[in-house]
Amino acid sequence: MSWHREYKEQWKEIIETVAAEEHRTTQMVEKDTIQSMILSGISQSDLPFVFKGGTSLSKAYGLIDRFSEDIDLSMNRKPTEGEKKQTKNLILSLAEDLGLILTNPEDIQSRHSYNKYVFKYESFFSEIPLDHVHMFVSVYPQQSIPDVVKQIKGATSHKLREEFSQLKNMPSLWTRSYFVSTAGNVSSETIEWYVNTQKTRD
């Protein structure tokens, strides 16, 4: 089972349309869609959930306009041990129904007062160039471009080696080369739109 079920092409088209209209990446809209499905399932529960954070302010209360990064949940009172177990079972059941894979099961304990669930899912838009990565970055004038590039490469290398142990034996994940260009008088929104839609243009 996957979150889009048998409507893969229809969902893909909807997400691409929304991304183009909102000037957002397709990955961002896709993630937002899946999280909205999870929120919808949670809202139907009888457990005393309180929706917190920017995602909930946007999706549950309509107070702000934003796309989702994560979901923050709490309860309006101290939950019983039974409610903690119900919460865990509910979240895992919703995830399974949507075809999400829990990546940190060893961290989840229903007896804990706080749990962080990290899921991965089948994406329509996961393709990236094999030999390079495009980034649109804003930095302070006093920051050195080589230092910024070095920090990005160092942080991403550390994260990748942490997640994929087979990479630890490689002496380097990035080459020393990079290309940088300024935006000039073009607005950031225009550049983001161009980057996000370049795959859809001939």
Tell me the DSSP string of 122-188: --S-----SS---------TTS-HHHHHHHHHHHHHHHHHHH-GGGGGSS-SS-S-------TTS-H
- pLDDT of 93 strictly over 90: yes
Task: State how far the Cα of 131 lies from the Cα of 59, in Å rounded to an integer.
Answer: 38
Residues 33 and 116 in one domain: yes
Which residues are CB-contacts of 128 (< 8 A; sequence separation ≥ 6)?
A: none
Residues 12 and 112 in one domain: yes
Residues 21 and 80 in one domain: yes
Residues 17 and 115 in one domain: yes
| Average pLDDT value for residue range 179-193 | 71
Q: How confident is the model at residue 202 (pLDDT cuts 50, 70, 90)?
A: very low
* Beta bridge partner(s), residue 75: 49
CA atoms within 13 A on the CB side of 16: 14
**Parent domain of 156:** 145-200
What does the pLDDT look like over 173-185, one tens digit per residue?
887 777 777 766 6
What does the pLDDT look like over 136-176, one tens digit per residue?
788 888 889 899 999 999 998 888 888 877 777 777 888 77
Q: Are 34 and 97 in contact (CB under 8 A)?
A: no
Report helix, strand or coil for 72: strand
Q: Bigger pLDDT: 135 or 95?
A: 95
In a domain, 1, yes or no: no
Which residue numbers are catalytic? 194
Residues 91 and 14 in one domain: yes
| Average pLDDT value for residue range 187-198 | 68
Domain count, the chain: 2
What is the pTM assigned to this prediction?
0.60
Residues 15 and 96 in one domain: yes
In a domain, 102, yes or no: yes
Residues 116 and 64 in one domain: yes
